[in-house]
Structure 1
Amino acid sequence: MNEALDEGPFYHGTKADLQEGDLLTAGFRSNYRPEIVMNHIYFTALRDGAGLAAELAAGDGEPRVYLVEPTGPYENDPNVTDKKFPGNPTRSYRSTEPIRVVSEVLDWTRLTPEALATWRETLAAIRADERGEIIN
């Protein structure tokens, strides 16, 4: 695994209602390409980045952000790092090992309805473009 730029704290955004100690694992469908089952669990060192992921996550639940800790090795997320962008501007990471929920984070910035609509349009365009490949 390549050298990660952060040691934490880390956050994960989802619509799942989780509890302290819950483990999040790989093996679920991508929020960005639902036809792909992900081999990794993703997290970020940016609280509001996790908030964006929560807002865009699949499902009908309320968007939530959790403070999480990796239980094993992790790497820079190649979907937003050197293979697509220089460095790791989103401070995004992934692991094949579970991440553990430490607590729910309540002080993250919610998107406006307009910003959320713009993000959803952008994701729809990426899904329609075969080059919007996910490095799994």
Structure 2
Amino acid sequence: MSATLDDGPFFHGTKADLRPGDLLTAGFRSNYRPEIVMNHIYFTALPDGAGLAAELAAGDAEPRVYRVEPTGAFENDPNVTDKKFPGNPTRSYRSTEPLRVVAEVDDWTRLAPEALQAWRERLAAIRADERGEIIN
């Protein structure tokens, strides 16, 4: 496990309607490769990064960002740390332990429709490329 860069606050983006005290757990399908059930729950120290994840999450519900607290150990997300970017500039983390919802965050930046479409096209290209591996 590599050293993490910060102590939070941390954020998680989703389309689920959650309340303070709810627990987010691993075991759901990846937003990026839906055929994969994830062994970890992912979060970031950047509210807008969580917002991007919320906007890209499956489903038609409104994207939401929550401030969360890890309930156990966590590590830098190896899908972006050093594999794609040196260090952890996205401040992305993952844990096998649940995240506790602290509060909903309303002041994150929504993507323009064109930017969101560009991200969706990028993800579609990654899904089509067998080398778009996720370290699970």
Say whether the fold is shared (TM-score over 0.5).
yes
1:45-93 CA deviation, whole Å, 9 max, x = no partner? 0000000000000111100000000000000000000123210111000
Instruction: Provide TM-score, normalisation by structure 2.
Output: 0.98
Calculate the TM-score normalised by the size of structure 1. 0.98
AA paired with 2:69? E
Report 1:1-136 matches (<5 A).
1-136=1-136
Q: Deviations over 1:96-121 (max 9, x none)?
A: 00000000000000001000000000
Task: List runs of 5+ in structure 1 lacking aligned partners.
Answer: none
Structure 1 residue runs of 4 or more that deviate by more than 6 Å after TM superposition: none
Q: Tell me the amino acid that sits aligned with residue 132 of structure 1.
A: G
Alpha-carbon distance between aligned partners in 1 of 2:6 and 2:40, rounded to the nearest angstrom:
18
Consecutive unaligned residues of structure 2, counting only runs of 5 or more, are: none
How many residues align structurally? 136
Alignment partner of 1:82: what SS? coil
Percent of aligned pairs sharing the same letter? 86
How much is the aligned-residue C-alpha RMSD, in angstroms?
A: 0.6
